[in-house]
């Protein structure tokens, strides 16, 4: 199928759909994430506001709208990011016959009623992480390896966008499973991909240190969709 991947981020959901055999084009408004996505999979990613894109020529749409407004993990006030618009309803209203809309699991069950809650650990024989996400829209149900549980014992917690803060005594992030802060490569492994070599050196127009650039990488990886998760949904249409 020809699939538009909206809110492409660093390209992880698109990579999974491409692994399932589909022709995908990503659309992303954040220039930094768009830069990263060009080195992932086919690299077909366009810097654009998804609300201005003509989607009529696509067979299907995958949308992962900004999640900061809904996340049960958020402990601070309203997000200050200019990319944190509430676009969940906009995504669910898209008319395509095949539509996947992905977002975080919110604090109350009623807030998740627009879709089905999945754990990333359901999508692999040997699960890499406990990561709860809601998938709505119109699509075939994926093949799973186990019934849903919020947490599977002895499986690493979800990789978060803030893993760069992790330490041996961290109670929130995946570092509590490792007893230390995870490396970028370890975070990428749990998300189901290998970091492209082009990611490791900060681009010439990036204003900041290499450490600041690495923080951006942690955030891009942690905000992504596990590659094996989107691949499982895409595999239902071969």
pLDDT digits (tens, 9 = 90+) for 129-168: 999 999 999 999 999 999 999 999 999 999 999 999 988 7
Q: Look at residue 184 and tell me whether its pLDDT is greater than 60.
A: yes
Mean pLDDT of 234-238: 95
Specify the pLDDT at position 202.
92
Q: How many beta carbons lie within 10 A of that of residue 114, not counting itself?
A: 16
Domain count, the chain: 1
The answer to whether residues 128 and 187 touch, using CB atoms and an 8 Å cutoff, is no
Q: Which domain holds residue 122?
A: 2-234
Q: Among 8-22, 61-75, 124-138, 177-191, which is the least confidently predicted range?
A: 61-75
Query: What are the strands of the beta sheet with 45-47, ordered from one edge?
Result: 45-47, 23-28, 2-6, 60-63, 98-104, 132-138, 115-119
pLDDT of residue 82: 52
pLDDT at 155: 97
Structure tokens at 151: 């947490």
Structure tokens at 117: 């809650």
User: Is it the case that residue 124 has pLDDT exceeding 50?
Assistant: yes
Mean pLDDT of 37-58: 97
pLDDT of residue 195: 98
Residue among 120, 113, 119, 114 at smallest CA distance from 137: 114
CATH of the domain at 226: 3.40.50
Per-chain mean pLDDT for the chain: 92
What pTM did the predictor assign? 0.92
- CA–CA separation, 3 vs 205, rounded Å? 31
- pLDDT tens-digit map of 74-116: 445 554 555 455 799 999 999 999 999 999 888 777 888 999 9
Question: With 70 as the cut, is the pLDDT of residue 73 above it?
Answer: no
Q: What pLDDT sits at residue 165?
A: 92
Please report, rounded to a whole number, the percentage of residues in the chain having pLDDT higher than 70.
92
The residue-averaged pLDDT of 185-204 equals 96
Reduce the secondary structure of the chain to three states and give it as a string.
CEEEEECCCCCHHHHHHHHCCCEEEEEECCHHHHHHHCCCCCCCEEECCHHHCCCCCCCEEEECCCCCCCCCCCCCCCCCCCCCCCCHHHHHCCCCCEEEEEEECCCCCHHHCCEEEEEHHHHCCCCCCECEEEEEEECCCCCCCCCCCCCCCCCCECCCCCHHHCCCCCCCCCHHHHCCCCCHHHHHHHHCCCCCHHHCCCCCCCCCCHHHHHHHHHHHHHCCCCHHHHHHHHCCCC
Q: What value does the mean pLDDT take over residues 32-51?
A: 97
Q: What are phi and psi of 118, to 5 degrees?
A: -125, 155
Between residues 200 and 80, which one has the greater pLDDT?
200
């Amino acid at each position: 199928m020809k699939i538009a991947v909206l809110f492409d981020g660093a390209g992880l959901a698109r990579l999974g759909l491409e692994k399932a055999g589909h022709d995908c084009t990503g659309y992303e408004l954040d220039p930094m994430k768009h830069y990263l996505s060009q080195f992932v999979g086919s690299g077909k990613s366009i810097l654009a506001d998804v609300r201005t894109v003509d989607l009529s020529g696509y067979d299907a749409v995958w949308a992962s709208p900004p999640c900061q407004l809904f996340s049960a993990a958020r402990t601070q006030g309203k997000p200050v990011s200019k990319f944190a618009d509430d676009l969940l309803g906009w995504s669910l209203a898209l008319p395509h016959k095949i539509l996947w809309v992905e977002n975080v699991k919110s604090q109350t069950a009623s807030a998740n009623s627009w879709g089905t809650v999945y754990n990333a650990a359901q999508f692999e024989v040997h699960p890499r992480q406990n990561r709860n996400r809601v998938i709505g829209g119109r699509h075939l149900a994926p093949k799973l390896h186990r019934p849903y549980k919020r947490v599977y014992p002895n499986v690493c917690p979800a990789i978060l966008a803030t893993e760069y803060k992790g330490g041996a005594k961290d109670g929130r992030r995946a570092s509590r499973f490792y007893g230390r802060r995870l490396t970028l490569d370890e975070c990428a492994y749990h998300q189901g991909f290998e970091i492209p070599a082009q990611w490791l050196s900060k681009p010439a127009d990036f204003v900041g240190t290499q450490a600041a650039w690495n923080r951006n990488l942690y955030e891009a990886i942690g905000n992504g969709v596990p590659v094996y998760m989107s691949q499982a949904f895409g595999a239902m249409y071969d």
